[in-house]
Amino acid sequence: MRITLFALAMSFTVLPALAQTPLRGTPEDKFKFVPRQEIAKQLTKPWPGEVYASAFMNDHEYFFVEFVKRLDHGNYIEQHTHYIDQTTILSGEGVLTYGGKIEDRKEIAPGEYRGHKQSGAKTQIVRPGDFVLIEPGMPHHFDAAPGKELIYVVYKHRV
């Protein structure tokens, strides 16, 4: 009986410590202000070898915020095992393709997949002010309307 009580007491001590173990040990976020001109400037520079651009506003332990500019071509399909995407369209018009399956899926990091062929998906026209929540595991990608740019902000929350 004494051993059982000791084991139970130890679990109340150890389990909370394990639950608070950080993923990457990133520092706590502090107040931050980024003027729209700086965000716009960052979105003019595509990633190396890509046509899209993004600007990360923070990189917290369990979430991050990213501004993204997409064109009408060259956008890849994403699938995140451990993130919920909460997206708000800021400017432009485009198409969200979601669901189905990534046919040429490649794992680029643990739980992160990319590809260029998607089957069985649905589409949704997106415009400024629209909000989209993409659940973990759902393949998705945004394309701007032909000849246009699509700019959105995404809050990615780790689950």
State pTM to two decimals: 0.80
Q: Cβ of 18: how many Cβ atoms within 10 Å?
A: 7
Residue keyed to tokens 């915020």? 65
What are 13's two structure tokens? 């001590």
State residue 30's pLDDT score: 81
pLDDT single digits (tens) 55-96:
989 877 788 899 999 999 989 999 999 999 999 999 999 999
Q: Which CATH architecture has domain 26-158?
A: Sandwich (2.60)
Distances (CA, A) of 51 to 9, 44, 74, 102, 140: 56, 10, 6, 20, 17
> Pick the residue with more confidence: 96 or 25?
96
Instruction: Quote the radius of gyration of the chain (alpha carbons, Å).
Output: 20
Cα–Cα distance, 48 to 4 (Å, whole number): 58
pLDDT digits (tens, 9 = 90+) for 92-136: 999 999 999 999 999 999 999 999 999 999 999 999 999 999 999
The C-alpha angle 147, 57, 27, rounded to 5 degrees, equals 155
Q: Note whether 54 and 43 are within 8 A (CB).
A: yes
Q: Provide the pLDDT confidence category of residue 21 given band limits of 50, 70 and 90.
A: low
pLDDT band, residue 24 (cuts 50/70/90): low
Residue/partner pairs of 36-45 with CB below 8 Å, 24 or more apart? 39/67, 42/67, 43/67, 43/68, 43/69, 43/151
Domain range annotation of the chain: 26-158
